[in-house]
Each structure stands twice: as C-alpha cells, then as structure tokens.
C-alpha cells in the first residue's frame, strides 16, 4: 500500500496536509518513523519544518497524535511519534455517486473523504460517458491517493470504503434494497418537489446523478425500492458543489 501511495504521491505536491498520514512500513522502531517522497517534500518545502518541530500525524486506519522531527536531510526525515488520540467519527452516510468525468472524480473522492463520508460507491448511470470507466483515475492507486489527500486535509486517518458499481441494474437489485432497510435513502434531484431534509441523526444513503442528470426510468427505479427524491432548490449545481451542500444540510449538527 505504501508503495502505491508513494509512486503516485511523488507526482503531485499538495498544499493542504493538516495531518501527515503514516503507514506501517514507515516505522523503523516502535515509535520512530522515516519518511521520504511527497511527505518529505511537503514537510520540508511547505511546512518548512526543522529538527525539533512538532507535526500532527496519524497512522492510516488507526490512532492520531503528534510527531517530533528528530533528523532531516534532503532524502529523508525521521520523527518520534506519539499516537494517543482517536480519529474523528465518520458521518453515517453512504454516498452513491454517478461516475463523474475524470477531472472531477479526484475532487469528489477527496472532498467526500474530507467531509467524513463513511462509504462511497461510484455507479454507472445512463448518462455517464462509457469512456469514463476506462480512465486511469479509476486505478486503485489513484483512488487510494485521493482518499489519503482527503484524510490529510480533514485530519482523519480512517479510509472511507470505496466500491465501483459498473452495472446499475444488478447494483440496484442486489445491493440497494439492503440499504433501504438500514438507512434513510435519498436521491438528490433538482426537479424534486420535496426539500432535502436537515439535521439527520440516523444513517443515510444519498444518490447523486451524473452531469447530464438522471433519466426518468432511473428515478422511478430508485423510488420503487424506497428512495425519496429531494432537492436543494431550483439552482442546478455541479456534482462537486451539490455534494458539500447536501452533506452540510443533512448533517448540519
Ligand atoms: N442537468 C442535470 C444536472 C445534473 S447536476 C439535471 O437537470 O438533472 C449533477 C447532480 O447533482 C444531479 O443529478 C443531482 O444529484 C445533484 N444536484 C445538482 N443540483 C441539485 C439541486 N438543486 N438539488 C438536488 N440535487 C442537485
């Protein structure tokens, strides 16, 4: 996992790392880590951190805490870490989003992760361009990297689950009915009459459509299994704008 992450990570420099995500492979003793690649560059060039400085760190899918830099040069950095805080709670929210165009995909995955979405499903709607499914951005390494960026941004360590539902009908028939029995199930649709609910306390499953919107058959298939169609108002928003607006409204508390 670390290898995949580092390979991708070295390509991009990201300027919002509020927590340094650590991997098991980074540990050179019980409480010492050695970092290279993207995280080294970020710590040296963006944080401008030096020996003796303290950074927020967290072990992927585990506890968070702080790290004190004990050694640093242009090839690697060493820190002594204390992991003594639990990560923040996730929202009890499953986000089912029609596969966006590749350029938007990264932003949607990273921001859903930052918002605390527990589970993300990318599904195929009628108006999703078939070529999107061939994008290298759907590679496991990139999908992991985007979630890591979201965790670093929000100071969280726990990866949201991520699933690809390439075929809508079996997904609708085999997986969605189970979610309907366990959560409030909503489809976000600009034309809906009902407003999106606010201040939910319970789990929710939220479906977002593709750029071209849902076709009527998709809306009625979802309604038939118990989804409620809701709107944020008549303004038609991009997926990446609708997503934080919906999440902020559903779990405003
Ligand atoms: N032309 C499309 C717009 C799609 S926008 C249409 O008219 O449906 C992409 C997705 O963002 C939509 O399918 C919906 O899930 C969500 N969305 C955008 N604006 C919204 C709004 N005002 N209310 C609820 N959902 C919205």
Residue 38, both tokens: 């993207």
The answer for residues whose C-beta is within 8 angstroms of residue 238's C-beta and 6 or more apart is: 104, 211
Handedness of CA 151, 156, 158, 160 (dihedral sign): negative
User: Does residue 213 have its Cβ closer than 6 Å to ligand 1?
Assistant: yes
**193 CB-contact burial (10 Å; exposed 0-12 / middle 13-18 / buried 19+):** exposed
Mean predicted confidence (pLDDT) in 84-106: 97
pLDDT at 237: 97
Give the Å distance between the CA of 143 and the centre of ligand 1: 24
Instruction: Give the atom of ligand 1 at the shortest distance from the alpha carbon of 208.
Output: 15
* Alpha-carbon 184 to chain mean position: 21
Torsion of CA 90, 95, 99, 102, to 10 degrees: -30
Give the Å distance between the CA of 180 and the centre of ligand 1: 21
- Main-chain phi, psi angles of 172, to 5 degrees: -65, -45
- Main-chain phi, psi angles of 173, to 5 degrees: -80, -35
Token look-up 């994008």 returns: 135
Instruction: Give the atom of ligand 1 at the shortest distance from the alpha carbon of 232.
Output: 23
pTM here is: 0.92
Using alpha carbons, select from 124, 69, 113, 74 the residue that is nearest to residue 90.
113
Shortest-distance Cα residue to atom 15 of ligand 1: 208
Strand partners, 228: 186
Q: Per-residue pLDDT tens for 211-253?
A: 999 999 999 999 999 999 999 999 999 999 999 999 999 998 7
Mutating to test ligand 1, I would choose from 122, 213, 245 the residue with most ligand atoms within 8 A of its C-beta, which is 213
Rounded CA separation 208/156 (Å): 24
1: pLDDT strictly greater than 50: no
User: Does residue 232 have its Cβ closer than 6 Å to ligand 1?
Assistant: yes
Residue 16 — pLDDT band, cuts 50, 70, 90?
Answer: confident
When mean pLDDT is compared across 8-22, 84-98, 182-196, the lowest value belongs to: 8-22
CA count, 13 A, side-chain hemisphere, 103: 2
User: Does residue 206 have its Cβ closer than 6 Å to ligand 1?
Assistant: no
pLDDT at 178: 86
Q: Per-residue pLDDT tens for 130-178?
A: 999 999 999 999 999 999 999 999 999 999 999 999 998 999 999 898 8
């Amino acid at each position: 996992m670390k290898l995949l992450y580092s390979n991708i990570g070295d390509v991009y420099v990201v300027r919002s790392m509020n927590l340094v995500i650590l991997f098991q492979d980074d540990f050179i003793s019980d409480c010492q880590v050695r970092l290279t690649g993207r995280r080294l560059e970020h710590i040296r060039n963006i944080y401008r951190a030096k020996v003796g400085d303290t950074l927020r760190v967290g072990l992927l899918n585990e506890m968070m805490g702080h790290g004190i830099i004990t050694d640093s040069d242009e090839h690697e950095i060493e820190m002594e870490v204390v992991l003594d805080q639990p990560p923040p709670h996730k929202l009890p929210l499953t986000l089912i989003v029609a596969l966006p165009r590749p350029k938007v995909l990264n932003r949607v995955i990273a921001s859903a992760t930052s918002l605390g979405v527990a589970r993300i499903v990318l599904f195929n709607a009628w108006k999703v361009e078939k070529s999107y499914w061939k994008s290298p951005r759907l590679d496991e390494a990139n999908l992991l990297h985007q979630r890591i960026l979201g965790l670093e941004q929000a100071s969280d360590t726990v990866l949201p689950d991520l699933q690809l539902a390439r075929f809508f009908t079996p997904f609708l028939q085999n997986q969605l009915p189970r979610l309907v029995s366990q959560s409030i199930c909503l489809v976000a649709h600009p034309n809906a009459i009902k407003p999106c609910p606010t201040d939910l306390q319970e789990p929710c499953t939220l479906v977002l459509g593709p750029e071209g919107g849902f076709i009527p058959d998709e809306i009625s298939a979802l309604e038939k299994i118990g989804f409620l169609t809701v709107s944020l108002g008549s303004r038609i928003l991009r997926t990446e704008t609708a997503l934080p607006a919906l999440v902020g409204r559903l779990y405003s508390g």
